[in-house]
Amino acid sequence: MSKVKVLSIVCVLLLLSNISIVIYLFKGNGQRHHPDRNRNLIIEQLDLQEAQIVQYDSLIKIHRQEIGAAQEHIAALKSALYPLLNQAVSTTQVDSFIQQINSEQKNIEYAHFHHFQGIKNICTEKQLIAFHDLNKELAKLFMPPTPPPNK
């Protein structure tokens, strides 16, 4: 085999590996998903009917508003907390911010729980069986993606 052919093969392999790396970097760790993925999954697994989907969509809208407001409040609290690193502050001040952040996180968890109760309430008897099975996976479905480990 000539040197030109070998170099051509090596170049093609390098090009393919570079393309693979770029695709991997842009795609992320595979945990990102379409925003309606969980919605569609629940509709499918519970076999929701049209009227139920309308109710479910209104539950989603309310839920997203509640979660968004709580997350904005947490962000504001953190924005006020971390600049305190540049000052001499008491642990009481820091604890106060952290307690407020914890309180908002608690509200988020209650909002999630009530959201799923709302979904359960729109289910028929037959769908409640499927909801019970789905319930085992709910925590995993709605957890935020974990960042890839640093290497």
Note the pLDDT tens digit of each residue in 16-65: 776 777 676 666 555 555 667 889 999 999 999 999 999 999 999 999 99
* pLDDT value at residue 49: 95
Question: Judging by beta carbons within 10 Å of its beta carbon (0-12, 13-18, 19+), is residue 48 exposed, middle or buried?
Answer: buried
| pLDDT on residue 24 | 64
Stated pTM of the model: 0.69
Q: What was the pLDDT predicted at 33?
A: 53
Does the structure show a pLDDT above 90 at 147?
no
Q: Report the 10 Å Cβ neighbour count for 123.
A: 19
Cα 8 to Cα 41: distance, rounded to the nearest angstrom:
47
Residue 75: per-residue pLDDT:
95
- Asked if 98 and 81 count as a contact pair (C-beta separation under 8 A), the reply is yes
Q: What does pLDDT average to over the chain?
A: 85
- Count Cα atoms within 13 angstroms, Cβ side, for 88: 0
pLDDT tens for 104-113 read 999 999 999 9
Q: What tokens appear for 118 in the block?
A: 């709302």
Block residue for tokens 């509709």: 43
Q: What pLDDT does residue 69 have? A: 95
- Nearest one of 145, 151, 127, 147 to 34, comparing CA atoms: 145
3-state secondary structure of 143: coil
8 Å CB contact between 38 and 67: no
pLDDT band at 151 (very low <50, low <70, confident <90, very high): low
Domain spans of the chain, in order of start: 1-30, 35-141
Pick the CATH number of 35-141 from 1.20.120, 1.10.10, 3.30.70, 3.40.720: 1.20.120
DSSP state of 30: S
At 141, is the pLDDT very low, low, confident or very high (cuts 50, 70, 90)?
A: confident
How many percent of the chain have pLDDT more than 70? 80
CA distance 60 to 57: 5
